[in-house]
Amino acid sequence: MKIIALVLLAAGTVTAAENDGWISLFDGQTLKGWRVAAKPEDVAAHYWSVKDGAITCDSRGRAKHGYVWLMNNRDLFDFDLKMKIRSYRDSTGNSGVQVRSRYDNEAYVLDGPQVDIHPPGPFRNGLIYDETRGVRHWIFPVLPGSKIEPEQGVKDWKWKHSDEGDGWNDLTIECRGTRIKTTVNGVLTADYDGAGVLDDELHKLRNVGIHGMIALQLHTGSDLYIQFKDIYLKPAADPQPPVIDPGSQSKAPSDAIVLFDGKDLSEWGTADGKLTGWTVQDGVILTTARREGTEQRKSWDLVSKRKFGSAQMHVEYNIPLMPAATGQARGNSGVTMQGRYEIQVLDSFNNLTYPQGSNAALYGYFPPLVNASRPPEQWQTYDIVFHAPKCDGEGKLVEPGRLTLLHNNVLVQDQVPVMPRKGCPTEPGPLVLQDHYHPAVTETPMKFRNIWVRVLP
């Protein structure tokens, strides 16, 4: 965490506030370090700007818009955040401060918890709403939807508009583990322990709740004028690592998402939704369909219903004995990360082919360091550590992804770069098991078992 703090310091604006560990996220003049996240037409409308030394959101007379977020570029775990907010009495719109959140550039949706700022109803200010897909309700207080009444809000709230005193309000947010604490103008407004919520599978799926980014909100359809300034961040001291059960060869770690445990295909689907050619027998996934006289279709592949970004993955597979086939026709399948980056599965035991297409290759790019393949009809393992490529808000590559692969406990890919093929997609994607077609064979009866994923930062 000391390294992270140094990086933030280098990227932030140096001010006197940093003498006690606070780092400025806003230089008072530009939106450097921030980006607008919204539909293209809403980005082009320039709702966010800097005016009079403050970050200003102005949608007055232009309320026909979707959600428009101003996101800070840092990915954060535990931290303190403080800022000043000025609202205007005649502004009827809604805003908020997202923490540990993430934006889906494809769906134009932001997931994660939000500290509410609602000038027309100040009893809500500082309470916590969860914007995560599949949740979307108040979590402090716990309420079933988006509606909240004054008697359910903060009892002794304090808030002032621009025409009262200096017009500025102080907001402090503390994030530690699953806990979020908010204070508005010196009044404790929320002290929420989200254990079992912020770290549940829905939040792991979106990679939010425990870590993520900060964002300021313009609520969809809001006619809003609001300002933010003096935005400071203090990274928390190094936390103790969480304790997990590491599992065993046949048991996933306790913090893993289990995609197949020998029971059924409830975590999986196909493009056509029919699961044709896939079945479960004796605790094992089997490919069973014959592909004679046809061409390969992506609808044959088995696709996880969950989508992942950076992740650790474990897959066990068993290649059939196909002595009459050679090269790419012998036991061909694949394990594809995010539905984009394929690790080849092939019978490479005494079967030569081009190196970038052999077993454990990052297909088409990097051959394995060594051939650690077992004979067909023996179980083999892939242990994958995948860090997804990073892209900026304009779809340009900022940093290649990285892949490390252990094949049968042997290191065969060592942090090799992973480059996007088309554009620079940042949204999570599924884990895919390939049902490969080759004109030289009628079927490739592959077996898979014990498949799990651990989401990584």
- The domain that holds 60 is classified in CATH as 2.60.120.560
The residue behind tokens 């044709």 is: 276
Average the pLDDT over 118-147 and give the result.
96
DSSP letters along 436-452, please?
A: ---TT-S----EEEEEE
Q: What is the mean pLDDT of residues 270-276?
A: 80
Tell me which residue range forms the domain holding 437: 257-455
Looking at residue 291, its pLDDT comes to: 55
Q: What is the pLDDT of residues 2-47, one digit of tens each?
A: 333 333 333 444 444 445 889 999 999 999 999 999 999 999 999 9
The whole-angstrom separation of Cα 338 and Cα 401 is 12
Is residue 66 scored above 80 in pLDDT? yes
- Name the least confident of 50-59, 325-334, 393-402: 393-402
In a domain, 247, yes or no: no
On whether both 409 and 353 belong to a single domain, the answer is: yes
User: Do 75 and 112 belong to one domain?
Assistant: yes
User: Which comes out higher in pLDDT, residue 329 or 344?
Assistant: 344
198 pLDDT exceeds 70?
yes
27 and 175 co-located in one domain:
yes
Point out which residues pair with 311 in neighbouring strands: 386, 455
What is the side-by-side strand order in the sheet with 268-269? Answer: 268-269, 302-304, 432-433, 333-337, 341-345
Is the separation of the CB atoms in 100 and 110 below 8 Å?
no
- Of all residues in the chain, the percent with pLDDT exceeding 70 is 93
Which two structure tokens, joined as six digits, stand for 29? Answer: 């003049």
Q: What is the mean pLDDT of the chain?
A: 90
- Do 149 and 32 lie in a common domain? yes
Same domain? 231 vs 261: no
- Domain count along the chain: 2
> Per-residue pLDDT for 339 more than 50?
yes
CA 358 to CA 362: how far, in whole Å?
Answer: 9
The answer to whether residues 145 and 10 belong to one domain is yes
User: Rounded to an integer, what distance in angstroms lies between the CA atom of residue 314 and that of residue 359?
Assistant: 16
Tokens of 174: 């503390």
**pLDDT interval class at 97 (50, 70, 90):** very high
Residue 192 has pLDDT above 60, yes or no: yes
Last residue of a domain, one of 205, 235, 265: 235
In 57-66, which positions are buried (b, 16+ CB within 10 angstroms) versus exposed (e)? bbbbeeeebe
User: For residue 286, which of 409, 162, 441, 449 has the smallest C-alpha distance?
Assistant: 449
Stretch 208-223: mean pLDDT: 96
